[in-house]
């Protein structure tokens, strides 16, 4: 016998149930720590932008004597607490997350925006009169099919600041770029590897070349304080991608640079040509080669990789090959690879 019913309810429905004491936010089913202010702001920003949020699970208990229903939230309590608090003017959305409506209480929003929020629909699975044991069994079964989160997915679940939002935005914007050039597959993008790559590259633009294992450290650092102009930083990222396109107008899919660790080095080398990467030597006095000449010089990289016996390779080329095959995301080898590519383009 079916023990649940899938429906959608507006935020206004939850507001009315809460006012009528028909909504129970029961802490005994709460499995996660209390949300931070940034997490709360991010949720409301999602709603303001009309984007979906995860579904809520509610146990509906029907009192046949009073013919009334009590809706006990067993999963999604933090989301509903946050929404109800915002409706009651409990907090404001961060201006960094939403420049248009940030810093404004719900009651101070334009009426049409208030109406849009109240009419926003939330997907709900109703669990009809189920005992606690059945509810726990349902969640156990759901978790049995859950995919274990990778490092980037864990990072995204715990961060809500402007750096996280920017890395997400750029990663998604270049979806076609990653797949067209063979840098990442659709499956890898579904696991947020494009966001991880973008974050790694943004860190290089801001701080200099770092080891990939430091990405989470900088997410933590930027979550508490990030004073950079995100629009300007996005424009700098775009500038590097455009410059790579000028060097490789036919794309990267037939080159060694389609490999993520080598694309990282190509990006940082071109970024240093265009913008200067902190920590790298200043540009040569004679400047860098034109895009066409740079392309011709960088073709040497493919020749290095096709030279199986390493015959005729210089010491620097052998070192580059070694740095491209082991410990490929460590800071030292990343710096050495980038400097080698820069030397080719001079």
Q: What's the rounded mean pLDDT across residues 273-279?
A: 94
- Which residue, of 144, 163, 182, is where some domain finishes? 144
What is the C-alpha separation between 86 and 90, in angstroms, rounded?
5
pLDDT in tens, 3-14: 678 999 999 999
Q: What's the rounded mean pLDDT across residues 181-196?
A: 95
Do 72 and 113 share a domain, yes or no? Answer: yes
Alpha-helix residue ranges (DSSP H) falling in 248-287: 260-274
Do 223 and 262 share a domain, yes or no? Answer: yes
Give the pLDDT confidence score for residue 60 in this predicted structure.
Answer: 87
Q: Measuring CA to CA, which residue among 223, 192, 228, 183 is closest to residue 207?
A: 228
Q: What's the rounded mean pLDDT across residues 208-229?
A: 95
DSSP designation for 212: G
Q: What's the rounded mean pLDDT across residues 238-251?
A: 97
- Which residue, of 106, 126, 144, is where some domain finishes? 144
From 40-49, 270-279, 286-295, 320-329, the region with the lowest mean pLDDT:
286-295
Do 190 and 272 share a domain, yes or no? Answer: yes
Q: Measuring CA to CA, which residue among 10, 76, 75, 15 is closest to residue 47?
A: 10
Do 104 and 188 share a domain, yes or no? Answer: no
Give the pLDDT confidence score for residue 172 in this predicted structure.
Answer: 95
Q: What's the rounded mean pLDDT across residues 95-104?
A: 92
Do 133 and 169 share a domain, yes or no? Answer: no
Confidence of residue 333 (pLDDT cuts 50, 70, 90): very high
- Structure pTM? 0.85
Do 122 and 46 share a domain, yes or no? Answer: yes
Domain count, the chain: 2
Do 28 and 174 share a domain, yes or no? Answer: no
116: Cβ contacts below 8 Å, ≥ 6 apart: 50
Do 37 and 161 share a domain, yes or no? Answer: no
Q: What is the residue range of 103's domain?
A: 4-144
From 15-24, 219-228, 278-287, the region with the lowest mean pLDDT:
278-287
Do 323 and 292 share a domain, yes or no? Answer: yes
- 117 — phi, psi (to 5°)? -65, -45
């Amino acid at each position: 016998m079916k023990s649940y019913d899938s429906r959608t309810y507006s935020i206004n429905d939850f507001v009315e149930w809460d006012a009528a004491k028909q909504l129970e936010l029961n802490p005994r089913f709460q499995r996660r720590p209390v949300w931070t202010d940034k997490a709360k702001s991010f949720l409301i920003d999602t709603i303001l932008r009309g984007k979906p949020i995860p579904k809520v699970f509610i146990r509906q208990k029907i009192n046949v004597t009073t013919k009334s229903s009590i809706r006990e939230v067993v999963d999604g309590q933090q989301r509903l607490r946050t929404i109800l608090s915002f409706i009651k003017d409990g907090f404001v959305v961060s201006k960094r997350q939403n420049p248009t409506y940030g810093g404004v209480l719900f009651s101070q929003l334009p009426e049409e925006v208030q109406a849009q929020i109240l009419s926003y629909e939330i997907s709900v699975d109703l669990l009809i009169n189920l005992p606690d044991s059945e509810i726990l069994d349902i969640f156990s079964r759901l978790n049995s099919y859950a995919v274990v989160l990778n490092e980037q997915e864990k990072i995204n679940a715990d961060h809500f600041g402007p750096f996280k939002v920017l890395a997400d935005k750029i990663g998604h914007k270049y979806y076609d770029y990653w797949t067209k050039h063979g840098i990442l597959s659709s499956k890898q993008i579904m696991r947020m590897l494009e966001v991880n790559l973008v974050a790694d590259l943004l860190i290089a633009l801001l701080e200099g070349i770092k080891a990939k294992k430091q990405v989470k450290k900088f997410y933590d650092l930027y979550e508490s304080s990030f004073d950079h102009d995100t629009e300007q930083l996005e424009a700098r990222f775009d500038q590097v991608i455009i410059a790579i396109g000028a060097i490789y107008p036919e794309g990267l899919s037939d080159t060694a640079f389609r490999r993520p660790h080598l694309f990282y080095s190509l990006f940082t080398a071109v970024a240093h040509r265009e913008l200067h990467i902190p920590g790298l030597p200043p540009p040569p006095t004679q400047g860098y080669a034109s895009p066409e000449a740079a392309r011709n010089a960088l073709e040497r990289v493919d020749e290095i990789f096709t030279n199986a016996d390493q015959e005729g390779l210089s010491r620097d080329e052998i070192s580059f090959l070694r740095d491209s095959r082991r410990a490929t995301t460590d800071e030292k080898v990343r710096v050495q690879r980038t400097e080698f590519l820069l030397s080719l383009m001079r």
